[in-house]
Amino acid sequence: MSKQVVPHGLGVTPVRSAYQQIADQLRSLIVSGELSPGDRLPSEPELGQAFGVGRSTVREALRSLSSQHLVYTSRGVNGGTFVADVDPRTITAYLETSLGLLSASGLTVDELLTVREMLEVPAARLAATERTDDELAALRTAVEQENAESGTQHEHPQGFHILLLTCAHNGLLEVVTQPIFSVLKNRFLRGNAPSEFWDQVCLDHQGMVEAIDRRDADTAGELMQHHLHRLREAYLEMDRR
Partner DNA sequence: GGAAGTTAAACGTCTGACGTATTGCCGTCA
Partner DNA sequence: TGACGGCAATACGTCAGACGTTTAACTTCC
- Contact residues toward its own copies (CB under 8 A) are 7-10, 19, 23, 27, 30-31, 33, 37, 56, 59-61, 63-69, 72, 82, 84-88, 90-91, 94-95, 97-102, 104-107, 111-112, 114-115, 118-119, 122, 126, 170-173, 175-176, 180
Q: Which is nearer to DNA, 4 or 153 (CB)?
A: 4
Give the DSSP per-residue string, 4-16. Answer: PPPSSTTSPPSS-
Helix pair 109-130, 171-188: axis angle to 10 deg: 140
Give the DSSP per-residue string, 6-56. Answer: PSSTTSPPSS--HHHHHHHHHHHHHHTTSS-TTPBPPPHHHHHHHHTS-HH
Per the CB < 8 A criterion, the answer to whether 232 and 197 are in contact is no
Q: Which is nearer to its own copies, 17 or 145 (CB)?
A: 17
Does 60 sit near DNA (CB under 7 A)?
yes
46: left (phi over 0), alpha (psi -120 to 50) or beta: alpha
The one among 23, 35, 57, 204 contacting DNA by CB under 7 A: 57
> One symbol per residue from 73 to 112: x for binding DNA (CB under 7 A), - otherwise; what is it?
xxxxxxxxx-------------------------------
3-state secondary structure of 74: strand
Residue ranges that bind DNA, judged by CB under 7 A: 3, 5, 13-15, 17-19, 41, 43-45, 48, 52-57, 59-60, 73-81
